[in-house]
Amino acid sequence: MARKRKLLLLGGTGEALRLARELDGHGRVECISSLAGRTGDPVLPPGRVRVGGFGGVPGLTTFLINEAIDLVLDATHPFAAQMANNAYRACAETSIPRAKLVRPPWAPSPGDRWTMMPSVTAAAIFLRFHPAQRIFLTLGRQEIGAFVPLGQAIADGAARNGGAKWFLSRMIDPPDDGGVPLPPGELVLGRGPFAPEAEKELMQKHGIDLLVTKNSGGAAGKIAAAAELRLPVLMIERPPLPPGEVLDSVGAALAWININAV
């Protein structure tokens, strides 16, 4: 019997998890899932799983060669630009077929009050001059630091930002002790997806008047809730993707794997 084709599935998303489940028991493909190890209690996919960085492009290239990987499916988050670029470069060097699975971004509907932001830092600067006072931040632990100086500027008495700002920060795991300080306000922990009704309730309970979010795409109660409450949204735009094939659904990724695993 022919050797199964070895697939490295770069994960950390719901799509990667669904794909690993679909590939479990596949007759021609052996899937190795890779997680960065960022969350403390990740939902583990079936099959072989490895956790932690590879050590940049050289480390990933060595892994691909040592493991005799035949295919790479990059199903990391649309904002995981470093990993996406590393995968592109390591696969180019080893001539291993690679594709990027990325869910479609959200698009504004008529009446939505979105302002597009090129980065988290740009959103924090923009907010300085915006009158919103109670802000819902749905960003990762590493990214909220950009909003801390905003709180300090307020403490110093800067009036141009319309008074003291307060932040409801939501993330999956709490920030490490001694790590990035939180912006002034409240912290809620939780892993999505969150239903629109629950999101609306949370925003109303805290008197939120502006949402900051990355354009992650996928199921998102917060987007529907913000639209219903007519809240302004600072929408952080996605980083550019590396060159190569882009797939926009788990079904398309499965088809790509089946075609390439011959």
User: For binding to ligand NAP (CB under 6 A), which residues are involved?
Assistant: 10-13, 34-36, 38, 53-56, 59-60, 76-77, 79-83, 86, 140, 214
φ, ψ of residue 79 to 5 degrees: the values are -95, 0
Closest CA to 83 of 105, 54, 62, 104: 54
Minimum Å distance from CB 156 to ligand NAP? Answer: 31
Minimum Å distance from CB 62 to ligand NAP? Answer: 11
Minimum Å distance from CB 132 to ligand NAP? Answer: 22
Cα–Cα distance measured from residue 115 to residue 235, given in angstroms and rounded to the nearest whole number: 6
Reduced to 3 states, what is the DSSP secondary structure of residue 64?
helix
Minimum Å distance from CB 141 to ligand NAP? Answer: 10
Residue 13 or residue 166: which is nearer to ligand NAP going by CB?
13
Minimum Å distance from CB 209 to ligand NAP? Answer: 24
Alpha helices in the chain (DSSP H): 14-23, 56-66, 81-94, 120-128, 148-155, 196-205, 221-228, 250-260
Minimum Å distance from CB 114 to ligand NAP? Answer: 18
Residue 35 or residue 168: which is nearer to ligand NAP going by CB?
35
Query: Which long-range contacts link 115-120 to residues 24+ away (Cβ below 8 Å)?
Result: 115/232, 115/233, 115/234, 115/235, 116/235, 116/237, 117/234, 117/235, 117/236, 117/237, 118/236, 118/237, 119/236, 120/146, 120/214, 120/236
Minimum Å distance from CB 257 to ligand NAP? Answer: 17
10 Å Cβ neighbour count for 204?
11
Residue 142 or residue 204: which is nearer to ligand NAP going by CB?
142
Residue 166 or residue 215: which is nearer to ligand NAP going by CB?
215
Residue 64 or residue 208: which is nearer to ligand NAP going by CB?
64
Q: How far apart, in Å, are the Cα atoms of 187 and each of 17, 65, 135, 150, 225?
A: 27, 43, 12, 17, 19
**Amino acid symbol at 39:** T
Residue 17 or residue 225: which is nearer to ligand NAP going by CB?
17
